[in-house]
Amino acid sequence: MNLLRSLGQRFWFLPAVLSVLASAAAVALVALDRLSQERVTPGWTDFLLYRVGAAGSRDLLGAIATSSLAVAGTTFSITMAVLALTSSSYGPRLVRNFMADKGNQTVLGVYVATFLYCLLVLRSVRVVGDPAVQDADVFVPHLAVNGAVVLAVANVGVLIYFIHHISDSVQVSTLASGVRAQLLSTVDRLYPDDVGTAQPPAQPPSQPPAQPPGQLLPDLSQDGHPVVTERVGYVESVSADGLLKLAQRHDVVVDLRVAPGDYVLHDDVILLVSPRDGVDERLAARLRRTVVISNARTPHQDVAFALQQLTEMAVRALSPGTNDPYTAQNAIDDLSAGLTMLVSRPAPSPWRRDPHGVVRVHAPAPDMTRLVATVLDQLRWYAADAPAVMHACVTLVGRVGSHAAVEHATRLRLELLHQLRLLTDAFEAAGHHPDDQAHFAEKIHATRHALVHGTTDRPAAGTAASPG
C-alpha cells in the first residue's frame, strides 16, 4: 500500500501507464489491420475509415506526433513558471500538490501517449517498390491511423481542460481547499479507530488495557531492546498493522519511539522491543521496515504537517511582500474545519492489542492539545499587527473549544484560555487604536465566557471577524 501511494505521488507514474497502454493499442490495431486487410471490402468501410494512402498517413501521423509533444512541452513550461511564482507566495510545499494532481498527470500522459502511439503506427506504414505497380508491397494501417486522428481530437479537448484546470488550481481558494481536504482526510483516517482489538469503553484511554491473568506489562524504557534507523530523514509513515502482526508472531511487545513527521538521524532509536532475548537481527530488520523514512514530510499519517501547510499559507499571506490578510483569514477558517474535527474525536488509545487481548504495541498518537497550541502560537507570532486576523484567531479558539470531546475538554479548554491571554497580550503590545483594543477585548471576553461555562452555541463564531 505504501508503494502504491508513493507511486501515485510521482509525476511520471500515470503518464508511464498511459504510454504503455497507448503502445499496446498501437500494436493491437496494427495487427488487426493486417488480419483484416484482405478480408474487408474497402467500399462500405470508407464511411467509417479515413483512407489517405501511405504518404498521407505518414504526413498525418508525423504532424500529430510533433504537435502533441510540442504542445505538451510548451504548456508545462509555462505552467511551471506560474507555479514557481505561486509557491513563492503561498509556500514551496504546494509544488508537491501540483506533482500529485491527477489532472496534471493525465494531461501529460495523454500527450506523451499520443506521441508514442503515432511513432509506433508510423513505423508500420510500408511501401516496397512502386506504389503505382499492382504487385507493389503496400501496407497502410488505416484503422490505426484513424485512431491517431481520434487521439488528436482528444488532445484538443485535453488542452482546453488543462487551461481551465491550471487556471483554477493556482487560485488561493483552490489551493486552500485542497490542503483542507488533505487535513480532513488525515484526521478521519488517524483518529476514528485503534489498531487491533478496541479498548473497553469503561477503561480510561490513557491506561493500558488489562492483561490475561499472570501477564505483566514490561517496562520498555528499562528492558526494551533498541531498534535503530539506518537512514536520515523524516518519518513518512508507520505500519501499525505490520508492527502488531510481527509482535504477535514473535511474542514480543513493541514501543514506538517516533511518530510521522519526526526527523531522525542515523542510529536514532525508533523502536524498543521487549523482552531483549526475543529480538534477533532478522526481526529487527523486519521491524525497521515498518517505519518508512523519506526526504520530505507527507500528510498521509502526519496530521501536524497537514496543519502546518494551512498555517504556512496564513503566515505567508501576512508577510510584508504579500500583505493579504483576507487569504490569512480564509486559511484560518480552513484550519478551524480540521481542528474542530480533530478535537471532536475520541483520543485513540496508545495501546494496541492482538485478538487475544494481549498488549503488543505502544504507539501514542499526537497530542491534540499540543497540536492546537502549536497552530495558535504560530499564528499569534505573525498576526499581532493585523487586527482582522487576530479576530479570526479568537474565532478559531471559540470554534475549537465548542467542539471538544468530553474526555479531553477540560485540558483543551485550559490551553485555549491560556491562548486567549497570549492573544490579548500580543494585541495590546502591537499598539492598536483604543477602539480596536476595546472591540477585541469584547470578543475575548465573550469567547472566554463560552469556554469557562462550556456553552456550545459558539458566540465567538458569530461575531464579526473585523475590528469594526
pTM comes to 0.75
> pLDDT value at position 235?
94
* Ranges of each domain in the chain: 2-170, 220-294, 304-347+367-462
Which of 227, 348, 335, 240 lies closest to 288 in space, CA to CA?
227
CA dihedral (161, 166, 172, 178) in degrees, to 10, reads 70
Check whether 44 has a pLDDT greater than 90. no
CA atoms in the 13 A half-sphere facing the CB of 394: 34
d(C-alpha 305, C-alpha 299), whole Å: 6
Cβ–Cβ < 8 Å for 432, 388: no
Q: State the DSSP code for 141.
A: -
> pLDDT value at position 465?
39
d(C-alpha 308, C-alpha 327), whole Å: 15
Instruction: Say what angle helices 368-383 and 387-402 make with each other, to 10 degrees.
Output: 170
Query: Which residue is it, cell 486487410?
Result: 37
CA atoms in the 13 A half-sphere facing the CB of 123: 8
d(C-alpha 256, C-alpha 459), whole Å: 41
- Please state which architecture CATH assigns to domain 220-294: Alpha-Beta Complex (3.90)
d(C-alpha 417, C-alpha 448), whole Å: 7
pLDDT per position as a tens digit, 418-433: 999 999 999 999 999 9
Spell out the residues 6+ positions from residue 66 whose beta carbon is closer than 8 angstroms to its own: none
pLDDT per position as a tens digit, 168-220: 877 878 888 888 888 999 898 888 744 444 444 333 334 444 444 334 455 56
Cβ–Cβ < 8 Å for 180, 310: yes
pLDDT per position as a tens digit, 356-393: 888 899 998 889 999 999 999 999 999 999 999 999 99
Check whether 468 has a pLDDT greater than 60. no
Check whether 154 has a pLDDT greater than 90. yes
Q: How confident is the model at residue 441 (pLDDT cuts 50, 70, 90)?
A: very high
> pLDDT value at position 48?
58
Cβ–Cβ < 8 Å for 403, 336: no
Cβ–Cβ < 8 Å for 342, 189: no
Cα distances (Å, whole numbers) of residue 458 to 167, 225, 379, 448: 37, 49, 21, 11
